[in-house]
Amino acid sequence: MSSFSMHTHTCGELRTSDLGKEVTLTGWVGRRRDHGGLIFIDLRDREGLTQVSFDPDISGGEAFRTAEKVRTEWPLKVVGVVRQRPDANPNLPTGEIEVLASEVEVLNTSKTTPFQIEDHVDISEDIRLRYRYLDLRRPSMMANMRLRSDFTFALREALHARAFMEVETPALFKSTPEGARDFIVPSRLQPGNFYALPQSPQLLKQLLMVGGVERYYQVAKCFRDEDLRADRQPEFTQVDIEMSFVEQDDVMGALEETLADAFSKVGVDMPLPLRRLSYREAMDTYGTDKPDTRYGMELHDVTELFANSSFKVFATAAQTEGHVIKCINAKGAGTWSRGKIDKLSKVAATFGAKGLAWVAFRADGTVNSPIAKFFGEEEMAALREACAVEPGDLLLFAAGSWQLTCEILGGMRVHMAKALELPLEGHDFLWVVDFPLVHWDEDRKAYAAEHQPFTQPEEADLDRLESDPLSVGSHTYDFVMDGYEAGGGGMRIHNAELQMRILKLLGFTEERAREQFGFLMDALEYGAPPMGGFALGLDRVCMLLAGCDSIRDVMAFPKTTNGNDLMSDAPSAVSDQQLKEVGLRLS
């Protein structure tokens, strides 16, 4: 990074092999220390830190006099000679050298910053976001930005190497539903009409396939007006991909290779082929469609075992069609106090449980449990065997509908893994495939697409599409990383009639379907090829690669959970004139 710059070297670059060289560095003043007659400044840029020393006996003392005046975060240009540092700092890559300054130029001054530009300082996130440009100067944030840049570049390279073409699609478009609310933009030239910001380029990439692009990708901004959570933002980035003249295994194969290639460039090994779990298996075994398989604690189905139980809740579940009894074995939690175990029912309630049955196997061989008294000797023995029980184990149970039972224990599994601080080594990658096509949305009292409305149903199930839609499978795949849904995609419908049938199933009238998706169905009638694709949640993947807890830490200018930008104060009011121009009046 040294040509076309005011400096000859960066602040992270100099080593003992550079001793004696005259160099020019630029950067910000970090710590500054006055040591009776000598001044030391840590000069910092995005590449690192170099100690610069100022001696009053050098070059008439002018540089020294300037160094006396400079304050933290002033940007400087320093000319000097690299010399051995007497008090080497082994924690710093440049720690064996320093630059003895002969000239220094103050490039600007700085107000006292609201927080120190260092890692491990305790600052509220609001202050960090209000002064994000200062927060970015901190080494850990800069490392996150660099990781993101490197990984995105690696993906681009991996995609180009496989003949993918980068195409930009518009941000001002029509509603492209992916299950969230649209951000809408009023049109000035056509008052009363609105654009929608794309929830993803889904329809546009399908149209690119009809247009013959064959292999497309885009690092695409997506906009979804949802209530935000730790890992959600109103705008986020997907690496959006689509292929045509392919079958599902072609798409998944190409994706696996591409991803493994890109991950390897940032030092992460993703062994191929990736494990594939069906949605059903994932739910049955881990209680979630995005399992972290770096630890076990799998769900055991013990329905049969309790077919004639004297514990009413279990007997009823065992005798009800479609209901199950399942449990997890949280090894190590069997020694917890009764009070501590009882508190787990509050956690289970957040996943929809009405209560939480448990059996603790104490280290001394005794059993402690509010429900064990209902179990016969045989039931207990069978339970011990089914769950490979050892002293110190805690069994947590859920009973009821398959879906809810799985979900409750899936939630508890994650909770217990955290509570027991199970070691999580390396990264965990897998596919979850074969999601159902639709689910029943109780709020809207309608079927809703599980992935999105353009997904190809399982051909063999098509005759049940109207009579038993919940049993219809789909060509879908989610990419799961470390227990997060890191990407997802599917094969698409490329037949206009079938597309209309699906839209009707989802509650569209023919008229509304034409109004919203007529352009898609028109295009499908002009020789649309078989196609499928995927989108990788870039923010989330970078968060996991960087080992952060929030996607905000890998975004340069994220918004708060209220959707505010604390730096610019967006969203903010607009002038009456602006409203008038787009034909709007506030109510």
Using an 8 Å Cβ cutoff, are 268 and 274 in contact? Answer: no
**Does residue 433 touch ligand ASP according to CB under 6 A?**
no
**Does residue 488 touch ligand ASP according to CB under 6 A?**
yes
Tokens of 272: 């191929």
Q: Which stretch binds ligand ASP (CB under 6 A): 113-121, 152-160, 517-525, 533-541?
A: 533-541
Rounded distance, CA 172 to CA 196, Å?
Answer: 6
> Which lies closer to ligand ASP via its Cβ, residue 26 or residue 202?
202
Minimum CB separation from ligand ASP for residue 7, in Å?
43
> Which lies closer to ligand ASP via its Cβ, residue 361 or residue 429?
429
**Does residue 306 touch ligand ASP according to CB under 6 A?**
no
Minimum CB separation from ligand ASP for residue 178, in Å?
5
Minimum CB separation from ligand ASP for residue 485, in Å?
9
Question: Hey, which residues between 449 and 468 contact ligand ASP (CB under 6 A)?
Answer: 452
> Which lies closer to ligand ASP via its Cβ, residue 178 or residue 231?
178
Minimum CB separation from ligand ASP for residue 493, in Å?
12
**Does residue 535 touch ligand ASP according to CB under 6 A?**
yes
Produce one character per residue of 516-533: b if its CB has 16 or more CB atoms within 10 Å, e if not.
bbeebbebbeeebebbbb
Minimum CB separation from ligand ASP for residue 206, in Å?
9
Question: Hey, which residues between 95 and 134 contact ligand ASP (CB under 6 A)?
Answer: none
> Which lies closer to ligand ASP via its Cβ, residue 251 or residue 297?
251
- Rounded to 5 degrees, φ, ψ at 173 are -150, -160
- DSSP class of residue 473 equals B
CA atoms within 13 A on the CB side of 37: 2
Of 90, 93, 137, 133, the closest CA to residue 118 belongs to 137
**Does residue 288 touch ligand ASP according to CB under 6 A?**
no
Max CA separation in the chain (angstroms): 96
Minimum CB separation from ligand ASP for residue 262, in Å?
17
**Does residue 209 touch ligand ASP according to CB under 6 A?**
no
CA atoms within 13 A on the CB side of 458: 17
* Type and span of the H or E element at 390: none
**Does residue 200 touch ligand ASP according to CB under 6 A?**
yes
> Which lies closer to ligand ASP via its Cβ, residue 399 or residue 531?
531
Minimum CB separation from ligand ASP for residue 499, in Å?
15
Minimum CB separation from ligand ASP for residue 161, in Å?
21
Rounded distance, CA 501 to CA 524, Å?
Answer: 14
> Which lies closer to ligand ASP via its Cβ, residue 198 or residue 334?
198
> Which lies closer to ligand ASP via its Cβ, residue 387 or residue 523?
523
**How far lies 313's CA from each of 150, 328, 338, 386, in Å?**
54, 17, 21, 20
**How far lies 512's CA from each of 183, 401, 502, 503, 571, in Å?**
20, 35, 13, 9, 32
Among 154, 239, 534, 538, binds ligand ASP (CB under 6 A): 534
Question: Hey, which residues between 151 and 190 contact ligand ASP (CB under 6 A)?
Answer: 178
Q: Which stretch binds ligand ASP (CB under 6 A): 139-147, 430-438, 531-539, 576-584?
A: 531-539
Of 48, 45, 67, the closest CA to residue 58 belongs to 67
Among 30, 291, 530, 533, binds ligand ASP (CB under 6 A): 533
Number of residues lying near ligand ASP (CB under 6 A) = 10
> Which lies closer to ligand ASP via its Cβ, residue 85 or residue 205?
205
Tokens of 403: 């879906």
Minimum CB separation from ligand ASP for residue 433, in Å?
13
Q: Which stretch binds ligand ASP (CB under 6 A): 103-111, 228-236, 368-376, 483-491?
A: 483-491
Of 114, 52, 89, the closest CA to residue 567 belongs to 114
> Which lies closer to ligand ASP via its Cβ, residue 80 or residue 490?
490
Rounded distance, CA 393 to CA 307, Å?
Answer: 24
Rounded distance, CA 585 to CA 576, Å?
Answer: 8
Q: What residue spans of 439-533 are helical by DSSP H?
A: 496-505, 510-524
Minimum CB separation from ligand ASP for residue 129, in Å?
26
Minimum CB separation from ligand ASP for residue 453, in Å?
11
Map residue 242 onto helix, strand or coil. strand
**How far lies 454's CA from each of 151, 249, 476, 532, 558, in Å?**
29, 19, 11, 10, 30
Rounded distance, CA 120 to CA 291, Å?
Answer: 31
> Which lies closer to ligand ASP via its Cβ, residue 156 or residue 221?
221
> Which lies closer to ligand ASP via its Cβ, residue 83 or residue 181?
181
Minimum CB separation from ligand ASP for residue 537, in Å?
8
**Strands (DSSP E) found in 362-453:** 367-368, 393-401, 429-433, 438-441, 446-449
**Does residue 202 touch ligand ASP according to CB under 6 A?**
yes
Q: Which long-range contacts (CB under 8 A, 24 or more apart) does 370-373 make?
A: 371/311, 371/397
> Which lies closer to ligand ASP via its Cβ, residue 203 or residue 268?
203
Using an 8 Å Cβ cutoff, are 300 and 386 in contact? Answer: yes
20: left (phi over 0), alpha (psi -120 to 50) or beta: left
> Which lies closer to ligand ASP via its Cβ, residue 483 or residue 487?
487
> Which lies closer to ligand ASP via its Cβ, residue 306 or residue 534?
534
Q: Which stretch binds ligand ASP (CB under 6 A): 79-87, 268-276, 355-363, 484-492?
A: 484-492
CA atoms within 13 A on the CB side of 211: 13
Among 12, 27, 490, 530, binds ligand ASP (CB under 6 A): 490
Minimum CB separation from ligand ASP for residue 490, in Å?
5
Residues that bind ligand ASP (CB under 6 A): 178, 200, 202, 452, 488-490, 533-535
